[in-house]
Each structure stands twice: as structure tokens, then as C-alpha cells.
Amino acid sequence: MKEWIEVSFGHGISRHFLTPYNEKLRAHPLEEIASEWTSERVVNPDFDAIVAGALTPHDFRDYPNAVVSYPAKGGFWNLYEGFLPRVGGRLRRGTVRSVDLGRRVVVTEDGERIPYDHLISTMPLDELVVAAEDAPASCREAAAALRHSSLHLVNLVVDRPRLTEMQRVYVADPDVPFHKLVVNSNSSPSLRALPCTGIQAEISWSPHKHVAREGLEHRVLEALHRMGILERDDHVLDLNVVSIDYAYPVYTAEPAAARSHLLETLEGLGVSCAGRFGEWLYVNSDDAVLRGKLRAEALAPRPVAAPTAS
């Protein structure tokens, strides 16, 4: 990936932004990351478009994430509330303890045994293989080759509206702990009208990039002050740190072959995988939901009627 950045964008853009930014985001050596996946996540430069954008205001929208939908009211989770009436009483919560591929039974942590004809799994591929005690040895070897990065999320609420007009801030500076700020308070008119602002800072980590969690929120606050996003007299109403083990799949040469082997073998054993870590595929949440829907439609082509309210 490092070579691809240099060849595609030149030494200046590489040195000042794309290389240090991706080193922070990927949390793995860029020399080990394959470049094939970049066509779907990174816009390839076009010389004429670069010149036009430098000389005149240019609203560039020729890329997959140019338009992003957000609920008119509430937060991102409101998008998924629409599923609940169709799920009805079929929703169960629990942790999967084991999967018996031969008998086609899922066992939960509390001992419940759930038989299935065909399983759609959104579990991380490597955890699924660990849970499946009768998985072939080749699957265990392939799962061990998968790589991913993790995230610390520093969330804060500031007692001041409209701190910034920005919605996303991408930071390459190695002296700033986070690689991205998410200001979802600017995502809808209803959120912008609130008397406070919510900010989330993303900090990637992995065995290749250690990040101390202790004191992380204070380092983030200090960086926000240096960047001018927060003022020294701003009052922080709430502050916490959430750690997510599975954040981003990391594509090195070895996991590409491992992923294909796992998906094909598991499909033959009655397990369809869907989602970012279910397929070990760098997709956004809307695409992950769509891929799960497509898996379900392939198994049950006829629409399932929504349960009626009693």
C-alpha cells in the first residue's frame, strides 16, 4: 500500500497526508498491506479534476460515499429500529459458545441449543472457526492468518452548540492521538438544534501499534484544544472511552487467500457469512445489512410477512 500511495499520488501528498494518516488508521506496516482493495475506498487521482479543483470551486461527488444518509431525528441507531416490527418475538440475545457444524446446532453461553437448517453468521470469521469445534484443520490454519485493527473511541459531550461546521476531521499528524473525529451533531437539523455538541475521536491500535488507554481521554482533550475545536473554558458534560476489538479488517497478502478458503468451505458446510467481519470485508454498515438481506433472500426467496400486532 505504501508503494501504491507514492505511485498514485506523488511524494508530497504521500509524505504530508496519506502515508502518515494510513499508518495511524491501519495500525499495521503499510509495506505489508495489499493495495488491491483501495479502488473501493480511495478515489484514484485524475489530473484534469485536480487542476479544475485547484482553480475553481468544485463539488466533487464521483465516489461511492459522496452522499450519506442519516436519520432526520435521533442518532444512527434509529435506522435499525425499523427492523424490530418485522422481527417480532424471534429476536434472541446471547453469546454463542459453540457451533456444531456436523449436527447443525448453535449452543449459547447459557446452554440453549438452537438447531438450524442453514446458518447466516455475522460473527468474525476467526471467532466462528474457534466456536466450531469440528471445523476442518485447513479452516483453523486460514483463520489464524486473518488480521484486523482495533479502536479506542473517546466520546465527549460539550456544553456548547455548533462547535464546528465540520462533520468529519481526518488527522495525519502523528502528535495527535486520533486519526478521525466524528461530529454527528452536525448530521441532521434536529441534532444541530440541540444546546450541546457530541464528538467522537477514533484511535486505532493493534499489536503493531500500542496505544495506552490510561489517560487517553485527556490526551484527546488536549489535542482538541491545540486544534482550536475546543476552547479552554468549554465545559465537558460527559466523557468516556469505549474499546472495540474488531474495527477494521486489514488486507495483507496472506489473509486474501485465507478469506476465500474460509467462505467457500463454510458455505459447503451450511454456513453463509455476511457483514464486515463475517466476510472479513471492508464494507460500511448499510452494505453489511444489505449483504445479510441478500443471504436471507437466497435461502428464503419468498418475502416473510411481518408479524401482526395483537
Running along the chain, 310 residues long, what does each successive block of 10 average in pLDDT? Answer: 90 94 94 77 78 83 76 85 82 90 96 94 96 95 94 96 91 96 92 94 96 95 95 94 95 81 95 94 88 89 59
Q: Give the per-residue pLDDT at 40.
A: 63
Q: Give the per-residue pLDDT at 138.
A: 95
Lookup result for grid cell 447459557: 110
φ, ψ for residue 245, nearest 5 deg: -70, -50
Q: Give the per-residue pLDDT at 308.
A: 58
| Distance of alpha carbon 57 from alpha carbon 137, whole angstroms | 57
Specify the 3-state DSSP secondary structure of 133.
coil
Q: Give the per-residue pLDDT at 299.
A: 87
Q: Give the per-residue pLDDT at 310.
A: 47
Q: Give the per-residue pLDDT at 304.
A: 58
| 54 in Cβ contact with 46 (< 8 Å) | no
Specify the 3-state DSSP secondary structure of 58.
coil
| Distance of alpha carbon 119 from alpha carbon 278, whole angstroms | 12
E strand intervals along 118-260: 119-121, 147-158, 168-170, 180-182, 197-205, 236-250
Taken in order of first residue, the domains within the chain and their CATH numbers are 2-55 (no CATH), 91-146+251-299 (3.50.50.60), 149-249 (3.90.660.10)
| Distance of alpha carbon 143 from alpha carbon 137, whole angstroms | 10
CA angle 247, 251, 253 (to 5 degrees): 155
Beta-bridge partner residues of 154: 201, 241
| Three cell numbers, residue 17 | 497526508
